[in-house]
Amino acid sequence: MTTQTPAISVRSLSKCYGALTALADFNLEVARGSIFGLLGPNGAGKTTLIRILTTLMRQDAGEVLIEGLDPRTHGREIRCLIGVVPQENSLDRYISARENLELHARLHGMAVGRYRRRIDELLELMGLAGRQHDMPDTFSGGMQRRLVVARALLHEPRLLFLDEPTTGLDPQSRRAVWEYIKSIAGRMTIFLTTHYLDEAEQLCGRIAIMDHGRLIDQGSSQELKDKLSGGTIYQIDFADNVDAYAALLQGMACVKGVEIVEHSVCVELVSWECLAEVVTILNGAPVKRISLKERTLEDVFISLTGTGVRE
C-alpha cells in the first residue's frame, strides 16, 4: 500500500534572527484535503513559519516540503499551487476591486472566460458585487479583507494559507467565509492561523499549538480538551449572596478551586461524585441553576501557553 504524500511536511525546522530564535527544531505534517489550524500567542513563531512555507523566507536548518516540493529549489512551482491570505490587506490601491482580481488571475495564467465567471462568483459570495468597480481605498477594513480572501481563492489553489483571515470582519462576513471554507474542504488543503479559538474549533479537523518556536501539542479539538488535567467544573448560578456561597464552597475538602463570574460560581470538584456533597451544603440557598461547565479550546490554549500578555 502506498502512503499519500502529505500536503505539508516540516522536519527539524529552525530559524533565528540574530540572538532571537523564532523556530527551534519544529516538526509538523498536514494531510492533503484537511483543514489544519495553527494556534499560538503573539511571538510564538507562526508568522515566520508561514513565510517559510509560502516561499517568502528560507530556513536556517531543517526540511520543508510543500506537495513534495522543496521551497528552496521549487519556489516558482509552489507559488502556482498555493493561495495566501496574509495578515495585511495588500491590495493595489490604484485599480478597482475587480481589476485587482483580474490582475491576480492573469498572473496565474487563467483563461479569460474562466476567471470572469470565477470573479463574479467570489464577488457575490463576499458581498462585493455592488462595489466591484470602486477603488479598495474607499472600502472599509472588513470589505478590504473580504477582497483579499476572494483574491486568494480565485485560482482555486491546491493549498490555501489563511493567516488570520477573518480579522476585522463582521459576524455575517465571518460566517460566510467559514461556510465557504467548509464547502471547499477536501478539494484543497487549508492551513489556518487564527486568534479566534471558536473559528479553529468550528473549522479545523486537526489543531497544532505552538509557543516559543516549538510545537507544544496537536490533535483534534476534542483530543486536546481530553488531555486537560484537573477535576470536574460546575457553574452554579445564585440569585444573591454569591461571595458568601463562594467562600462556603471554597472551604469544602472536595473542592479544588472556586471562581466567581458575575452572579455565578464556577467550582472545580475532585470528581463528579462530589456534586452530591455540594448540593447538600447548598440546601436552602438561592440556587437558580447548576450546570456542567465543559472544557473549551481556550482552556487548553491557556494551560499550554500561560496567561501572560505577549508583546
Cα–Cα nearest to 10, from 185, 155, 152, 218: 218
pLDDT at 43 (0 to 100) = 87
For residue 266, what is the domain's CATH number?
Answer: 3.30.70.330
Q: Which residue has the higher pLDDT, 10 or 283?
A: 10
Residue 232 confidence (pLDDT) above 60: yes
195 and 288 part of one domain: no
In a domain, 80, yes or no: yes
In a domain, 308, yes or no: no
243 and 143 part of one domain: no
In a domain, 307, yes or no: no
**pLDDT tens digits along 23-58:** 999 999 999 999 999 999 988 999 999 999 999 999
In a domain, 309, yes or no: no
Question: Looking at 226, 246, 265, which one is the last position of a domain?
Answer: 226
In a domain, 42, yes or no: yes
DSSP 183-217: HHBTTBEEEEE-S-HHHHHHH-SEEEEEETTEEEE
**CA atoms within a 13 Å half-sphere pointing along the CA-CB vector of 65:** 12
pLDDT at 168 (0 to 100) = 77
71 and 179 part of one domain: yes
77 and 186 part of one domain: yes
* Mean of pLDDT values over 231-244: 85
Domain that holds residue 218: 8-226
Residue 6 confidence (pLDDT) above 60: yes
264 and 160 part of one domain: no
pLDDT at 214 (0 to 100) = 93
217 and 262 part of one domain: no
Residue 310 confidence (pLDDT) above 70: no
pLDDT at 31 (0 to 100) = 94
79 and 148 part of one domain: yes
d(CA 215, CA 224): 13
271 and 125 part of one domain: no
Question: Looking at 211, 226, 241, which one is the last position of a domain?
Answer: 226
pTM: 0.79
Number of domains in the chain: 2
72 and 187 part of one domain: yes
275 CB burial (10 A radius; 0-12, 13-18, 19+): middle
pLDDT at 234 (0 to 100) = 84
In a domain, 311, yes or no: no
Cα–Cα nearest to 246, from 233, 265, 229: 265
82 and 212 part of one domain: yes
237 and 217 part of one domain: no
155 and 263 part of one domain: no
For residue 128, what is the domain's CATH number?
Answer: 3.40.50.300
**pLDDT tens digits along 172-200:** 888 888 888 888 888 899 999 988 888 89
In a domain, 264, yes or no: yes
